[in-house]
Structure 1
Amino acid sequence: MKTLVLVEHDNSEMKDATLAAVTAAGKLGEVHLLVAGSNCRAVAEQAAKIAGVGKVHIADDSAYENSLAENVAPLVADLMGHHDAFVSPATTTGKNIAPRVAAMLDVMQISDILSVEGEKTFTRPIYAGNAIATVESSDEKLVITVRGTAFDKAEAEGGSAEIEEVSGPGDAGISSFVSSEIAEGGDRPELTSASIIVSGGRALKDGETFEEIIMPLADKLGAGVGASRAAVDAGYVPNDYQVGQTGKIVAPDVYFAIGISGAIQHLAGMKDSKTIIAINKDEDAPIFQVADIGLVADLFKAVPELTEKL
């Protein structure tokens, strides 16, 4: 089976989410990668070094510069004439492109897989992760998104894949890129690749307080910064900080849940963390049911004290 994996990138550097997708694809058979972008040769060369990759397809066209799903999906659909499965990370970009590819191929998408049980059999979470379903596809072609935290990352070095230029339909003419506002995290790691994450909830009152309480602790620990949906909806921090069922799925070595009650939607995004540390003044908060270490305390006193002692 030949599998085509979508490489996530910013036209200059490949993103970590790709590596877990490569591992999942490797369980299906031969792995080919697709780098679609503009002036993205450096990304293709980086992708060619990933261990276990047989070939890298590069589509270098201004139409693919911003990964617009309306432009990238037809390119993938064309390449699927020579591939048996399309795999993408279950990220914002992947979840935007994959359903369009599935529709073009007239197949059912298998979303957010946790494991590969057979050539066409997979497990995936349902009911916000409270149950795991085993699903088997009867479609000729597979379209799959991969939960990055469920698979080890492929080795980024050691491979020497062939790079092949491909072309696609180009600009579909039905959408256009206007602008993007990227939240600057300074030297902090991205949420999905951070080994330590410090997350804050609605209890932090406002954006200024969030900055004052959460950021110093994160900086001391070299941690990524996350937030609950309530904190994001209240405008404390941007959307890309959100951890949870409708945000980012993370599984760091250490996860700090500060002022987060532990709604089921939030737990679905972080309960696979190796060590969960919760600070909340409500001793009955659901977060304490999953926490490895729980501190019932006023976060406005406990967190600055913890930061000071680090």
Structure 2
Amino acid sequence: MIEKICEIINDEYCCDIDITVEEWKQLLTNPKVFDDKSMEAIKKWYIESGHSATCSYIGKKYNEHSMSANGIINGLAGRVQKELGRFTVKGIGGIAKGTRFIVVMKSKLIDTKPKTWEWTLREELVKAIEELYIFSDDSYSDDDLVTDIGDIDISPDYPHFEYSGKPKDKKDPLNVQNKYLYPRSHKVSINALQHANYKCEFDNTHVTFTRRNSDLNYTEPHHLIPITYHNKFKVSLDVEENIVSLCCNCHKQIHLGQGFEVMLEKLYNERKDLLNMVGIDISLDNLIKLYKNEKGDN
């Protein structure tokens, strides 16, 4: 295993870190390397301008100790080195021998009073994050979409939405460990829930509960034509016209219960004209067949 020297030259941490974008993508999708705490820490830098910030700035922003992220990032860098298995970093001069931060970030001394180190996510890591849509307004499974939207603070003053009636181009699916995952936009789903006034569209008399984060009713978005079958259509299925608002019980029933055909017939008949307007052409019989064949995420 190669030992890479990290040293300070002209007020910058210098070390030849040669991790490619593709390698970062594999690492990012490995939960044994990028655990939840690591993702949370990385996101704090990712959302900053230039993906750069000092530790003291991050500490103040999130009401944490200025060094709180150091252990997390160093631990992450250690797991990256172990997973790749081709190099270790050794600090010399004024750098601690066990410093591994540099694997994930670059650093330079900035002229503040007092002077301090600014840390910047490596370009290859940033590109990998972007290509994987990790911190985007998207989810990659039905369950994740429901969970993510459940965590969002939706204001009662959320702008009123009207259907566009226009087809949308499909986004490219994401290939993760030889499995293709199709993105679902949080905004599109929230628009659909808002249009339904946060009521169950199978039966608007169904009782639900109030969202924890607002005074709105809790309902869940459901893609009437499952996203799993995006490859059968020339246009995007992740459009408001294809998303219905359902109470928790109806959402589970349409996926897992008996009587889903009756539910599909009602929802389909109410949506078929809207679906045609956005280029989604399917008969009720074929829609029912899709649900009978449905496997895994949708």
Asked if Structure 1 and Structure 2 have the same fold, meaning a TM-score greater than 0.5 normalized by the shorter chain, the answer is: no
Instruction: Point out the structure with max Rg over C-alpha.
Output: 2
Which has a greater percent of strand? 1
Which has a greater percent of helix? 2
